[in-house]
Amino acid sequence: MMIENPYYGQDGHGSYELRSIGDLQLEEGGIIRDCRLAVATFGALNAAGDNAVLVPTWYSGTSKIIEQAYIGRGRALDPDRYFIIVINQIGNGLSTSPHNTPMPGGQGHFPRVRIGDDVRAQHRLLTEQFGIDTLALVVGASMGAQQTYEWVVRFPDMVRRAAPIAGTAKTTMHNFLLVETLMDAIRSDLGFANGFYKSATEVREGLLRHAKMWAVMGWSTEFFASFRPAQLGFTSLDDFVVNFMFGYFMPMDPNDLLCMAWKWQHGDVSRHTGGDLAAALGRIKAKMYVLPMSHDMIFPPADCERECKLVPNAKFHVLSSIDGHLALFGTDPDFLGQLDGCLKELLATD
């Protein structure tokens, strides 16, 4: 059976289009039959075909938050100027995911997916169905940054500019462990039943633990010290943890989250070069802005800076926000302003 989950769908996350790219052979050996990608587009491809911008999604995110927080007239991602294609990553609940794949291949049997699988799937979609052979920009945050790095290393001739925000090309050991603890929070719930629960509500305790850990790592100590939860409308720490953090994750599917988490853990562009990260990043031809966030506990600036030094044509710039990693939600308008400034500058380069 598939898991009925009203959270995922056009009502909450539309509009998007479901596009099949056929069967997708996976790097880990499995296969996704009739792989469907949920795609939201804004604007139109110009006659020269050189104004396409690809935005891959982050852990737990969908095209909706990208649309709401990052796309708009006058913004860097302006649909009047660019053909903006937001592709939901495999496993995010809109595209093919454990919860919407029929048994026996769904739920706990869903195959392992890598960042490289997403990028190959996106490449197939863009080239075969949209007729796109050049991307003016690939920009993504967090797991979207992982996909951005994979794009410029795997298809260096297709991407003119790239902006990985708050994410890495190769998951660090520390980050790997951090994600492991997030996965443990869910898997340790007996209701998880190795992925064969009947409803996500059976994994409520695990999802709550997972949400609390995101409350710790996703924001920052300065965020709490500066009364940001109150400013966002929450009256106490409990109110914030339950009604913001748990409220966000509670309706999601545990297997979908774990599919993305495993993918996140194993992000590594140096798979293309026998483990040599410098060689992999040396392949990049895109003009790149590496954009970490000042108070990010998940992808600290230092991790991003080490990688940036290995990219031939890259600028390193730290976006400032005490909101930490989850400023990505759009909680800090000043952060969005800084980011727009960087992306406009990057888009203005040849």
What is the distance in angstroms between the CA of the first residue and the CA of the last residue of the chain? 51
Choosing from 27, 50, 180, 340, the residue that interacts with a second copy (CB under 8 A) is 180
Question: CB–CB of 34/84 below 8 Å?
Answer: no
**Which entry of 189, 296, 303, 323 is annotated as an active-site residue?**
296
Q: Least distance from C-beta 303 to a second copy, angstroms?
A: 6
Tell me the number of residues near a second copy by CB under 8 A: 35
Q: Which stretch binds a second copy (CB under 8 A): 16-24, 221-229, 258-266, 276-284?
A: 221-229
**Which entry of 142, 321, 323, 332 is annotated as an active-site residue?**
142
- Any contact of residue 215 with a second copy (CB under 8 A)? yes
Q: Least distance from C-beta 188 to a second copy, angstroms?
A: 6
Each residue 116-155 as x (binds a second copy by CB under 8 A) or -, in order, gives ----------------------------------------
How many angstroms separate the Cα of 336 from the Cα of each of 66, 181, 244, 265, 297? 12, 29, 20, 27, 19
The Cα 64–Cα 95 span in angstroms is 13
Question: CB–CB of 89/260 below 8 Å?
Answer: yes
Choosing from 184, 250, 272, 277, the residue that interacts with a second copy (CB under 8 A) is 184
Query: How would you label 298-314 residue by residue, b for 16+ Cβ within 10 Å and e otherwise?
Result: bbbbebbeebbeebeeb
**Which entry of 60, 97, 325, 332 is annotated as an active-site residue?**
325
The Cα 113–Cα 104 span in angstroms is 17
Longest dimension (CA), the chain: 56
Question: CB–CB of 77/71 below 8 Å?
Answer: yes
The Cα 115–Cα 92 span in angstroms is 13
- Any contact of residue 315 with a second copy (CB under 8 A)? no
- Any contact of residue 248 with a second copy (CB under 8 A)? no
Q: Which residue has the tokens 């289009």?
A: 17
Q: Least distance from C-beta 123 to a second copy, angstroms?
A: 31
226 counts as catalytic: no
Choosing from 205, 272, 285, 330, the residue that interacts with a second copy (CB under 8 A) is 205
Each residue 150-179 as x (binds a second copy by CB under 8 A) or -, in order, gives ----------------------xxxxxxx-
325 counts as catalytic: yes
| CA nearest neighbour of 339 among 164, 108, 220, 168 | 164
Question: CB–CB of 320/335 below 8 Å?
Answer: yes
- CB of 46 or CB of 181, closer to a second copy: 181
60 counts as catalytic: no
Q: Strands 24-25 and 31-32: what pairing?
A: antiparallel
- Known catalytic residues are 142, 296, 325
Which residues make up the interface to a second copy (CB under 8 A)?
A: 172-178, 180-181, 184-185, 188-190, 205, 209, 212-213, 215-216, 219-225, 229, 237, 241, 297, 300, 302-303, 306
